[in-house]
Structure 1
Amino acid sequence: MIKLEKGKYRRAIRWVWYGFFLVITFIVLFIWAIAINFMGLFGEMPSLKALENPKSEQASEVYSADGKLMGKFFTVDRQPLDFEEISPYVINALIATEDIRFEQHAGIDAKALARVLTKMGGAGGGSTLTQQLAKNLFDTRAKENRGPLAKIPYLGLVIIKFKEWITAVRLEKNYTKKEIITMYLNECAFGRNAFGIQSAAKTYFNKNASDLTLTEAAMLVGMLQAPTKYDPVNPQKQQACIERRNVVLGQMKLYNFITDEDFQKAKSEPIRLDYHPQDNSEGIAPYFRNEVFKEIIKWAIDKGYANNEKEAKEFIYTAGLKIYTTIDSRLQALAEEAAAEHMKEKQQRFYAHWKAIGRNPWVDEYGREKIGYIEQNAKKSYTYKILQAKYGNDEKAIWNEMNKPRQMRIFTWQGEKDTIMSPMDSIRHYKKFLQIGMMSIEPKTGHIKAWVGNISYRHFQYDQVRQARHQPGSTFKPIVYAAAVNLGYTPCHEMPDVPVVFPGWIPKQEGGYTGGMYPLRRAMGLSINTIAAGLTKEIGVDEIRKYAKELGVESELPRVASICLGSHAMSMYELLSAYTVFANKGYHIRPVMITKITDRNGKVLEEFVPEIREVMSEKKAYMMLDMLMAGTEKGGTSAFLRAYPALWKNNAQIGGKTGTTQHQADALYVGVTQDLITGVWVGGDDKAVRFLSMYEGQGAILALPAFARFMTKVYDDNSLPYKPRPFEKPADLDLDELDCAKMKSNIERVGDEKRKKRR
């Protein structure tokens, strides 16, 4: 038997083993200390709950009543998809380029790590997709996740890498490979504010991620390394983008995801973009969505999701809410079409009107051009304020810049136009445009179905439906009449067309005073100012103000008699809110914009119940409809509607009221049908911009046709439930009460009989 003698290296080998076990023990303890954030020295790690429910910033989405995605609220536009909704080209390109052993490792790729360590990082990174996901999802490098030891040079980086490894291993235990790669693609940044593969596909190619081609997938995966460096939208970086794309294609060929033939064909293809940047202004009914955003801010604060407006906005931008609204995308499209057709025509007339006069369209109350008008408005502009911040009190330098031509894209009714124009010329250009506000609401539900805030959201972001407050003119008269009807007046009650004197004011009547007696119904149809003023004198200004509140007017109305002719300011939104009572049997429903809000997983957070209250009896409400119908009869202010035969099929009935303010500064129309009430306002950017002609600038000419066009389109669309029909009549209504000629004849007959008896 051979006897082994003690070697001279035995002690050294023993110390090597001791050292090895010491290093292993240290690493294990180091990992344990990081995992539990020992003594708070290492910074927080994601909890088990966070790993099971990773939070990712996700845009909140707004949906129409007919299920269409209207738009989003976001700072980061992320649209999560399932694995099956992503093109296989994207999956294969990502694995081939970023992590070829993705299917084999458990979060850490030992081979890739060894390669990095032996070549001192010269052979590329060793991070797996799972590690990159851990870094992106939980922001392991964020300041708030660092402990005191992170301040030590190099040690901080080591701690971060260990955190990512630990988190990656935990992710692998909690999720399948398909779930991990899907989360990664939903999370990563592609530049141009596109986060996640769906947003990237929409932004760069205007298609879904499932439809991406080989070259498109390779381009997007290639961009992940450095989105700004490989930006395909920037002409100066397109070649670099192509080269990076071809590297990805080469990796796919290397690992047999594509054939050599596929590779040769794909690498020679140019980049073909269909660039559609995703921003909050994109989508359906942008003016309406702005109002929805304001409502959601209030809701988030009321429900405790945020403490203030800033927090509420951040919550909305990142929570992935699903917001279901009342807008019908089909009605919205028809309203926008009608508004555009109408305004294009009226703009041409406006240009021709002022060309014939030979002046600019900004005038004072006497029709004289306002000197310095453009300069005054220029000082309110964003450009002027920026220049003022730059040049201070040096007005010469400011005006120099304001008059310096530059490249810009402007709005025209023939489409957007690229041109050279100074900021001052731009102001002159835009001030000449007439603008519109148009809203349509269902009186029975209070649901707002269409909302056109202006002629172009990109160029005219001021909303003329709710943000703007204009004088309603004669469209306010029905509210005056309603206050009187509520007190017992009837449509056949007669009043004289004579001057009415208030302290300091005598209302004027277009065409003078006739001195005759008019039933309220006829007076409404002819829009006689003196009758509205007479009613106001009889029932009192305070009664009108009080009843306007009952009808849903939110603005504080001034305590002056002239409100009877709509001299005050209010929004179209408020005005239509009041009119809904007449077509809803006397019940007021506060206008509804949002029906339901859910979280990103579909859990209902809130269902909104309409606020309903009775304001007048059904019979009195119908009396108001009957008086509004008088305007559409021969000689009435809404008689122009008879020129649109499609509106009158099936014995349909329509009520309406025109409005024209002083000097034709505002033209309004409110059209009432059984199923929809639609309001239209048309005017300039301010009251100085207007028609001089009363004919051209009145509500019946400048606003009413937009309503008529819209309702014609609605009735022609068989996919919509709205059809021309008569108003619903109360069961206890005696139609003779609304026949003023018969009522007058009966009164005269009864009077004659009484006189005979006295004889």
Structure 2
Amino acid sequence: MGFFGDMPSRKELKDKRNDTASEVYSADSVLLGRYFLYDRTNITYQDIDTTVIKALVATEDARFYKHGGVDFRSLARVLVKSILLQKESSGGGSTLTQQLAKNLYPRRDYLFLEMPINKVREMVIARRLEAVYTKPEILELYLNTVSFGGTIFGVERAARYFFNTPAKKLKQEQAAVLVGMLKATTSYNPRSHPERAKKRRNVVLAQMAKYGYLTPEKATALQKLDLGLKKEKVAAKEQEENLAPYFREQLRVELAEWCTHQSKPNGDPYNLYTDGLKIYTTLDSRMQREAERAVSRRMATLQKQFDAHWQGRNPWGQDQTVLANAMRQSVRYKRMQAAGASEEEIKKAFEKRVPMTVYGWNGSVRRTMSPMDSLAYYMKFLNTGMVAMEPATGFVRAWVGGINHSLFKYDHVTSKRQVGSTFKPIVYAAALEKGIRPCDYIENKLTTYEQYEGWSPQNADNQYGGRYSLEGALSNSVNTVSAQLIMKVGVPYTIRLARALGIESDLPPVPSLALGTADLSLLEMVGAYTAFANQGRISQPIYVTKIVDRTGKVLRENNSEPHKKVLSADNAATMLHMMQAVVNEGSAARLRSTFGLSLDIAGKTGTTQNQTDGWFIGITPGLVTGVWVGGESPLVRFRSLDLGQGARTAMPIWGEFTSRLVRSGYYSKKPPFEPLSESLQSRLDCVPYLEDEPTFFEKIVDALPFNIPTKEERQERKQSRKERRAERRAERKRDN
């Protein structure tokens, strides 16, 4: 009559599925992680060792196989002993089926007579469960739903967490530990309270002997054993959860939103955390590990250089707004503000020194410092982003969003920073598409563009003069030539090409775009570069191939589709060749000398103003990989171009990663770049740089039979004479 509220029908009970974690798999079938409210893995009755069943029945419900969901004999015992005789050791009287009813349908607040009403409600549900399920099915459902403390639910997860073994291989004494926990998961947790857990285990073993599941001698022998916990499982779980954390978080956000628009057969939307989805991704676990190792090794070295470069000083100097902004963005500040604390109270709390553990590349250390000091400490860290993608398919194979996900949540694969000279290949591709030839020479001259507020692009080395071919200008990253190219091609046309290459972020409609003033993501730039390696066809990034529900139904499937033609095949091949010159004799030449890489490589370095951002995007056979390096604040940077350029910050990470892939044999079956056709070779057959024609005066000087010293040589000679006179005066003084 509705007195107990909505009661599940037998049909609903038959279809009942408990909450199950969704699992994320790599392309090579490695479990990357789970999304869950309750950490649970469902298994069948056959996958549970019979020892677990025996221990459970002997301890929790000895008459389980004799009742129909409610044990009236136990109820009578509870009524007499607990209520009339006031004995606390009489037990609760709930059967395993009733406990299952409570697990599936948690108790409600009825204000008055809460316990009696909930008990009767559980009895009714238990009777219905017995009507639709067999005894083994009830045990299976129970052992998949029962809590083992914290977020761990189900005997399979508990067995793996505490003993590093599946439930099917649990030993008798191990099963007794887990069953013993059910009385009180916190009090009898074997990790937190091993002595209590051991005593409780021995009670379970005694119960098994009492009901004939063990001989008394066997029970006595097992009671003498240690708990036998396997701590290495915790390390293995941490390693599993640490692989690709930024990628999994990006995926979680996207899939949680996607699930809200997908309906189950009953009309309800899917839930990422409870519906047991299987998410299959394009990530290669082996390549991902190498990427993370490369980042860890090279960033540790770079951070050491950075700290020595600043010698304990703050890169932001006296600008306190950097720390003030960091404080306001912190979780601690937001929590205190939400709790009603005043600005003065919050500031005081941030200035109070307390013991804390701080992260470092050589390991975590204990220090006494204020939260504000902690913010300053972490603000000095350089960070990075790295992503690797197959140009032919668009499949993302590696994704590293930062140096430590637990401390630095910002994902630098998807975040947007100024791209610097890595945008230049797009400008040069636009020039080729517009009909400018690779061997058309362009003057390296300092020019002021009055129509654009006196914009005067300068070269990083402040060297001018001579003329460059497109290849020469790109390999040496000559700003003056890039500026002239975008003026010839037109800013609108360049932007249209960038859009066609998959760049969706804002692009400022100004000629300085040629030098990379746009804020773009690493994922966008790597996707754009796939056209150069893919005969002019663009590949959109793909990192989920298939999503399957718990019944095996495919909910979503992504396959590599025919890609849009963005550049002509000839121009794409020309760009790839010119970007090889960047590596062979240009700004990325250290890849050959430092890392000994002999495979085909094309790429482009990038450095933004004041060395705020360092970039390198490289193309190898079958892979496009991009790396960004910089500080969380633009003020956190190297002061010199020699230390802060992309070739010094980002490129070594790329080189380390690629070297690891070479050693792993990744490139052994990859064919080299396709050679240029004869017609394209002839188009590129020109010297990269031509000096200016000498003036009439310079020709006369060159014809003289002796050398006229330059201004610099004259100054050196003058300085040398001063030094010699000073030495003679010092000698005379010593003699006197």
Q: Where on the TM-score scale, by shorter chain, does this alignment land: which range?
A: 0.7 to 0.9
Confirm or deny that 1:111 pairs with 2:73.
yes
103-112 or 88-97, which moves further after superposition?
A: 103-112
2:94 to 120, 127, 146: 127
TM-score normalised by structure 2 residue count: 0.86
1:24-74 deviation line (CA, Å, top 9, x unaligned) = xxxxxxxxxxxxxx4x44433323332222121111111111111111111
Q: Which amino acid aligns with 2:512?
A: S
User: Helix, strand or coil for the counterpart of 1:350?
Assistant: helix
Instruction: Name the residue aligned to 1:384.
Output: 333
CA contact (8 A) 2:322 2:633 kept: no
Instruction: Name the residue aligned to 1:437.
Output: 385
User: Helix, strand or coil for the counterpart of 1:58?
Assistant: coil
Distance 1:428 1:212 in 2: 50
Distance 2:156 2:556 in 1: 28
Instruction: Name the residue aligned to 1:628.
Output: 579
User: Helix, strand or coil for the counterpart of 1:90?
Assistant: helix
What displacement does 1:693 show?
2.1
CA contact (8 A) 2:10 2:132 kept: no
Instruction: Name the residue aligned to 2:672.
Output: 726
Alignment of structure 1 residues 208-247 onto 2, 5 Å: 208-234=166-192, 237-247=193-203
Instruction: Name the residue aligned to 1:289.
Output: 248
- Classify 1:513/1:85 alpha carbon distance in 2 versus 1 (closer, same or farther; 3 Å): same
Distance 2:42 2:668 in 1: 37
| Runs of at least 5 residues in structure 1 that lack an aligned partner in the other structure | 1-37, 144-149, 745-759
1:106-159 deviation line (CA, Å, top 9, x unaligned) = 3333432332233346521222212221222244x346xxxxxx67x54x7555
CA contact (8 A) 2:20 2:38 kept: yes
User: Helix, strand or coil for the counterpart of 1:727?
Assistant: coil
- Classify 1:729/1:43 alpha carbon distance in 2 versus 1 (closer, same or farther; 3 Å): farther
Alignment of structure 1 residues 264-279 onto 2, 5 Å: 264-269=220-225, 271=227, 272=229, 274=231, 276=234
User: Helix, strand or coil for the counterpart of 1:647?
Assistant: coil
User: Helix, strand or coil for the counterpart of 2:384?
Assistant: strand
Distance 1:422 1:724 in 2: 53
1:345 to 301, 308, 314: 301
Instruction: Name the residue aligned to 1:688.
Output: 635
CA contact (8 A) 1:362 1:369 kept: no
1:195 to 153, 157, 161: 153
CA contact (8 A) 1:281 1:458 kept: no
CA contact (8 A) 1:715 1:723 kept: no
CA contact (8 A) 1:665 1:689 kept: yes
1:178-216 deviation line (CA, Å, top 9, x unaligned) = 322121111011111111122223444454334444443
Instruction: Name the residue aligned to 1:61.
Output: 23
CA contact (8 A) 1:347 1:433 kept: yes
177-186 or 66-75, which moves further after superposition?
A: 177-186
- Classify 1:127/1:75 alpha carbon distance in 2 versus 1 (closer, same or farther; 3 Å): same
2:313 to 360, 372, 376: 360
Instruction: Name the residue aligned to 1:31.
Output: none
- Classify 1:316/1:372 alpha carbon distance in 2 versus 1 (closer, same or farther; 3 Å): closer
2:408 to 448, 455, 460: 460
What displacement does 1:637 show?
0.6
CA contact (8 A) 1:647 1:724 kept: no
Distance 2:657 2:47 in 1: 39
Distance 1:386 1:162 in 2: 43
User: Helix, strand or coil for the counterpart of 2:538?
Assistant: strand
User: Helix, strand or coil for the counterpart of 2:65?
Assistant: coil
What displacement does 1:725 show?
4.0
What displacement does 1:92 show?
2.4
- Classify 1:342/1:77 alpha carbon distance in 2 versus 1 (closer, same or farther; 3 Å): same
Alignment of structure 1 residues 78-89 onto 2, 5 Å: 78-89=40-51
What displacement does 1:370 show?
3.4
Instruction: Name the residue aligned to 1:21.
Output: none
Alignment of structure 1 residues 495-514 onto 2, 5 Å: 495-502=442-449, 503-504=452-453, 505-514=455-464
1:672 to 615, 619, 623: 619
1:168 to 126, 145, 151: 126
Instruction: Name the residue aligned to 2:284.
Output: 328
Confirm or deny that 1:402 pairs with 2:361.
no
Instruction: Name the residue aligned to 1:414.
Output: 362
Distance 2:684 2:52 in 1: 71
CA contact (8 A) 1:65 1:324 kept: yes
CA contact (8 A) 1:438 1:681 kept: yes
What displacement does 1:631 show?
0.3
Distance 1:691 1:493 in 2: 36
Distance 1:724 1:300 in 2: 38
Instruction: Name the residue aligned to 2:465.
Output: 515
Instruction: Name the residue aligned to 1:136.
Output: 103
| Runs of at least 5 residues in structure 2 that lack an aligned partner in the other structure | 691-736
Counting matched residue pairs gives 678
State the Cα RMSD in Å. Answer: 3.0
- Classify 1:450/1:552 alpha carbon distance in 2 versus 1 (closer, same or farther; 3 Å): same
- Classify 1:160/1:405 alpha carbon distance in 2 versus 1 (closer, same or farther; 3 Å): same
Distance 1:664 1:645 in 2: 23
Distance 1:742 1:270 in 2: 76
What displacement does 1:743 show?
14
Q: Which amino acid aligns with 2:523?
A: Y
CA contact (8 A) 2:163 2:230 kept: yes
CA contact (8 A) 1:736 1:743 kept: no
CA contact (8 A) 1:57 1:320 kept: yes
What displacement does 1:86 show?
2.9
Instruction: Name the residue aligned to 2:205.
Output: 249
What displacement does 1:453 show?
0.7
Distance 2:356 2:156 in 1: 31
Distance 1:362 1:706 in 2: 23
Instruction: Name the residue aligned to 2:397.
Output: 449
Instruction: Name the residue aligned to 1:566.
Output: 516
User: Helix, strand or coil for the counterpart of 1:680?
Assistant: strand
User: Helix, strand or coil for the counterpart of 2:253?
Assistant: helix
Q: Which amino acid aligns with 1:606?
A: R
Distance 1:232 1:320 in 2: 28
User: Helix, strand or coil for the counterpart of 1:429?
Assistant: helix
487-496 or 699-708, which moves further after superposition?
A: 487-496
Distance 1:595 1:98 in 2: 45
Q: Which amino acid aligns with 1:344?
A: A
1:395-424 deviation line (CA, Å, top 9, x unaligned) = 1x4333223333433211122334443312
1:46 to 8, 12, 17: 8
Q: Which amino acid aligns with 1:334?
A: E
Alignment of structure 1 residues 564-603 onto 2, 5 Å: 564-603=514-553
Confirm or deny that 1:735 pairs with 2:691.
no
Distance 1:562 1:454 in 2: 29
Distance 2:443 2:263 in 1: 58
- Classify 1:92/1:422 alpha carbon distance in 2 versus 1 (closer, same or farther; 3 Å): farther
Q: Which amino acid aligns with 1:293?
A: R
1:440-471 deviation line (CA, Å, top 9, x unaligned) = 011110011000111111222211111x2111
User: Helix, strand or coil for the counterpart of 2:417?
Assistant: coil
656-665 or 369-378, which moves further after superposition?
A: 369-378
Confirm or deny that 1:697 pairs with 2:647.
no
Instruction: Name the residue aligned to 2:727.
Output: none
Distance 2:353 2:595 in 1: 50
User: Helix, strand or coil for the counterpart of 1:740?
Assistant: coil
198-207 or 580-589, which moves further after superposition?
A: 198-207
